[in-house]
Chains A and B, each alone.
Chain A
Amino acid sequence: MTAIPMKRSAVRLLIDNKAFLALVLLVVVSAAMSDNFLTGDNLLNVLRQTSINAIIAMGVTFVILTAGIDLSVGAVLALSGAFAASMTASGLAPWISVPGSIAAGAAMGMVSGLFVAFGRIQAFVVTLVAMTVVRGATLVYTDGRPISIGGGDVADAFWQLGGGYWMGIPIPIYLMFFVFVLCWAVLHHTRFGRHVYAVGGNEQVARLSGINVNRIKVSVYAIAGGCAALAGVVLTARLGSAQPTAGMTYELDAIAAVVIGGTSLMGGRGRIFGTLVGALVIGVLNNALNILGVSSYFQMIAKGAVILLAVLIDSRSQSSS
């Protein structure tokens, strides 16, 4: 298996990831319809806009691989972003505020994970409750008003995380690929990653074969929370302020990206690369609809149709293989 030639593995990649075909198709159609789509600037623009959803969705992928679900990521994003904004406003440097926010997000995810694993409550219910509670906590914390990151050197350094460039490429894009590489390595090249798949594939068998299922479950929710928090940091940095209503319905975009990417909601099957592609499908679609000037009333229908089509292509390929 390891000796598959490059060409064959590239072909396999396409076959395994029908969502990738959907993405290519979408890019080709958009490029054909507008001259402004396939430019270097616009592609960077799409990647930057996709980064927030992609970072959330990659975290959520871990949860969905264990046959769980996390509805609280949008709310966790909002609260962690608010923490990051107030830490920055009070003069704490990004190397404190960013890990601090991520730790807070991971802790929020961990609490959900504990209830799922040890409380034996369905993930949907636990994270629905977490979503409500964390949204409420965000409102209490922000008093319902945006929190500005303020001015000065510290705020400028923090702003770089969302608005800055390095070698002509926006920082959020690096963050997205960093998270991708990290998630890919953890999922496909560590024992923890294999255990995540095992728990989602068959929890009983995983338990009997000596995997600490509860530990895996708590960990995946913590990962999802941490990723959501990082996305919150990027969003807050991009806007220069944390919005109390930030991330509303982002959990649905994240789940859509995971599903478009071919990860099964039943758990045990899926890839992190698919999730990245899924997030790009959504990002390209939003961008293309704006650039083509599609009327607002049709945009939602177009989005729904494309997502359905992408999932349909993927599910047909799965059942035929």
Chain B
Amino acid sequence: MSDKTITLSLMDPPYDSETTTTALRIAEAALDKGISVNVFAYEGAVMLTMKAQQAHPNPVKGTTVEDQQHPTTSGFVGALFEKAAGDVQFQWINCGLCVDERGAADWIDGPKRGGPGDFYKWTQESTNTLVIGTR
């Protein structure tokens, strides 16, 4: 465990960019090192934690849901909440206005609603902040 914290800001929606996978890899690696992680999800990234996401079969290949083992971003994020333990925290805030305009309010357990002020507060409290913009 360390007393360090990193804050990530994400903007990409799910299943759109490899950057989402990278950001979640960074978060997992930090937790593994005992470093706490904050994620501020902005714009389309608020949909990463939507509870209704479902794995799907591949009708082109004729494979089932079980064959595909299709990962969901909400599953990844949920696993990060489960990985955090003790003093090593994993926090996730979804931008409230971004949620409202997308009708994207039904999340897995863990994320909270917030705003840019929360992101600013995290930047002041964290060891470092990485803003990952969309393209």
Answer whether A and B are interacting partners.
no
Chain B residues with CB under 8 Å of chain A are none
Chain A residues with CB under 8 Å of chain B are none
